[in-house]
Amino acid sequence: MANEEEGLPLNTTVDDETFDELSTLTGQRIVHIDVWEDSLSSALEAEEIDPTEQVSFDVDLYLADGAYFELYSVACFDSLDGEPWTGLEPVSQRLAALGKRNAVLEEIAVDEEDQLVLVVRHAPDERIYLPVAAWLLEEWDELPGG
């Protein structure tokens, strides 16, 4: 379901139809991840955040089939009850490594507010949980830097 905030057509919730559509992407290998240095939420709120304390990130997540997510205000967790990852540089490095480790989009989930949560498996018993405040799903022809 798309919401119009500040003139940007971003999805902020997942309805049943969108959930079914997104679920077709499960099992796709993640081939590339970019973390943006500047976040949309910081720009809209004209707020400066210390990069070493940052816990929310804007991320592009590219799947092998040619689809990619533009993810806004993403937090990263190793477990559902864990603490969020912190710091722009360490988070950028950890997420970029997923594209090189044959990580897979294991599950599309929805939280109690109907917001998107991506579950990424990067080892047999290791997952990363990515709750997302807003997102777009696009197609790519060429990976960044490629």
Spatial separation of the C-alpha atoms in residues 68 and 30, rounded to whole Å: 9
Contacts of 28 (CB under 8 A, 6+ apart): 63, 64, 65, 67, 104, 105
Residue 40 pLDDT: 62
Residue 6 pLDDT: 47
Domain-located, residue 52: yes
Spatial separation of the C-alpha atoms in residues 42 and 56, rounded to whole Å: 10
> Residue for token digits 């919401």?
3
Closest to 128 in 3D by CA, of 113, 112, 106: 106
Domain-located, residue 24: yes
Give the domain extent around 51. Answer: 2-139
Closest to 63 in 3D by CA, of 97, 26, 37: 26
Closest to 30 in 3D by CA, of 71, 1, 2: 71
Spatial separation of the C-alpha atoms in residues 145 and 124, rounded to whole Å: 29
Domain-located, residue 144: no
Tokens of 67: 């689809």
Number of domains in the chain: 1
Residue 45 pLDDT: 57
Domain-located, residue 145: no
Residue 5 pLDDT: 44
Spatial separation of the C-alpha atoms in residues 96 and 82, rounded to whole Å: 21
Residue 143 pLDDT: 84
Instruction: Please give the C-alpha separations between residue 91 and each of 20, 68, 85, in angstroms, as whole numbers.
Output: 29, 19, 7
Domain-located, residue 13: yes
Residue 4 pLDDT: 42
Count each helix (H run) and each strand (E run) in the chain, helices first: 3, 8
Domain-located, residue 89: yes
Domain-located, residue 146: no
Q: Which residues of the chain are under the pLDDT cut of 70?
A: 1-8, 39-46, 146
Domain-located, residue 59: yes
